[in-house]
Amino acid sequence: MNELKALIFDVDGTLADTEANGHRVAFNKAFAEAGLNWHWSVELYGELLAVTGGKERILHYIENHRPEFTAPGDLGEFIASLHLAKNGYYAEMVAAGDIPLRPGVKRLLQEALHSGLRLAIATTTSLENVEALLEHSLDPDAVSWFEVIAAGDMVAAKKPAPDIYHYALKALNLPAAQCLAVEDSLNGLRSALAADLRTLVTVCDYTRNQQFSGAALVVDQLGEPDQAMTVLAGDADVATLIDVDTLRLIFNQGEPRLAERA
């Protein structure tokens, strides 16, 4: 039987609720700064999250919501500069401590490290955004807790494609059968399953109504000793939080079935 050797974490929505009060707000500030009358409400942003990647999301918005828009110059360059400005505002918010981690994240990461599990990240957002979040919201040294940070444009195809997980597995030099992914969204789960990874889903506000067929377990949060999680799908026995024992329990329940990966 395969032994669990490493955990591969998504970032946005999984480590922290970065979207509604983080990236979304930063996108809107960048739009205003560029003199655009675009505003992404909490509700619209939830729809736009179907498209992963900030640059890809802006392009999708222009094509579907602003078909009359003409960029000043090259569209790709215009989107890239808007996205850069967005990330500047996002970095300010993270540095100000405005984006706390979700319950149980710090506890689980520390416990995993102490028990000898290797840690990695596979995310759609940029390396700079991940490092800022780890440093300011987790621990000044937290970047070094992760052996691999697979992020953003390091791969051509973003989630739900498996590329970012393939990249992380290759850098870890481990087979998928010895790793567990932690995700918050259907796009993330699809990406992990397509890379043959068993996957724990911890839903966030934007994803709690999605269907997570193929997940090893679906919970509403990782939980804390004084804040029990709710199991939404799967079997965590009597566990009230996700700790390393719970991860091993769900890992040993078996590989994702082929039919569930589609």
Tell whether residue 261 is a contact of ligand XBP (CB under 6 A): no
Does residue 223 belong to the site contacting Mg ion (CB under 5 A)? Answer: no
The answer to whether residue 12 forms part of the interface with Mg ion (CB under 5 A) is yes
- Closest to ligand XBP by CB, 196 vs 239, is 196
10 given a catalytic annotation: yes
Among 25, 30, 52, 202, binds ligand XBP (CB under 6 A): 52
Interaction of residue 199 with ligand XBP, rule CB under 6 A: no
Q: Per rule CB under 5 A, is residue 152 in the interface with Mg ion?
A: no
Q: Which of the stretches 2-10, 45-53, 130-138, 230-238 binds Mg ion when contact is defined by CB under 5 A?
A: 2-10
Helices 75-95 and 24-33 cross at an angle (nearest 10°) of 120
Give yes or no for residue 131 binding ligand XBP (CB under 6 A): no
Query: If binding is defined by CB under 5 A, does position 19 make contact with Mg ion?
Result: no
Residues 6 or more apart in contact with residue 110 via CB below 8 angstroms: none
- Residues in contact with ligand XBP by CB under 6 A are 10-13, 19, 23, 52-54, 123-126, 129, 152, 159, 185, 187-188
